[in-house]
Amino acid sequence: MTKDKETRRGKVIEVLNKARAMELTAISQYMNQHYGLDAMDYGDLAKNLKLIAIDEMRHAEMLAERVKELGGEPVSEADAKTVRNQAVQEIFGFSADLEDVTIDVYNQFLLTCRENGDSISVKLFETLIEEEQEHFNYFDGVSEHITKLGDNFLARIAGTPASTGLQPQGFAVAKDA
């Protein structure tokens, strides 16, 4: 591999790993928020946060797979600490801001991949940006409802089920199948 190609590949691996670290932060943050909302008995909100965290898990895995395809080592550390014990009124605005920053950063990472000739990583970031935009829209919408409707909105959700309806999957379940 030529030095120039190695350098370009290294730049792509670097942004892929930065994105992976951001995803690991989001997973931890959203699962923490999920647990808190579930404990406060806001099941529907908790359920959606868990589903979004699962999206982020998929993103982290997709990024790791691409890093490995390029000959790199996927990072395993989050880029920020989890903010704990948030009030329900804080969670959704905070998460909307997190997604908004992520979308902006991922657009810059996409440009880095394009500038370095990696169209596969460009497509990956396009997919991630679309899904992060869906997350932003959800968080921003709930934040607006809480701001405008306050306790009336939250009272309507209190006591709803937190079940995602997902079937248990994973190593432990698969080995019994």
Tell me if 41 sits within 8 A of 99, measured CB to CB: no
Cite the annotated binding site for heme b by residue number.
57
Helix (H/G/I), strand (E/B), else coil: 96? helix
Cite the annotated binding site by residue number.
23, 55-57, 59, 99, 132, 135
Nearest Cα to 84, choosing from 44, 36, 40? 36
Rounded Cα distance between 74 and 64, Å, is: 5
Q: Exposed, middle or buried by CB within 10 Å (0-12, 13-18, 19+), for 150?
A: exposed
Cite the annotated binding site for Fe cation by residue number.
23, 55-56, 59, 99, 132, 135
Under DSSP, the state recorded for 162 is -
Q: How far is CA 108 from the centre of its chain?
A: 17
Task: Write down the H helix ranges in 1-87.
Answer: 3-39, 43-69
Give phi and psi for 164, each to the nearest 5: -90, -15
Structure tokens at 107: 């657009």
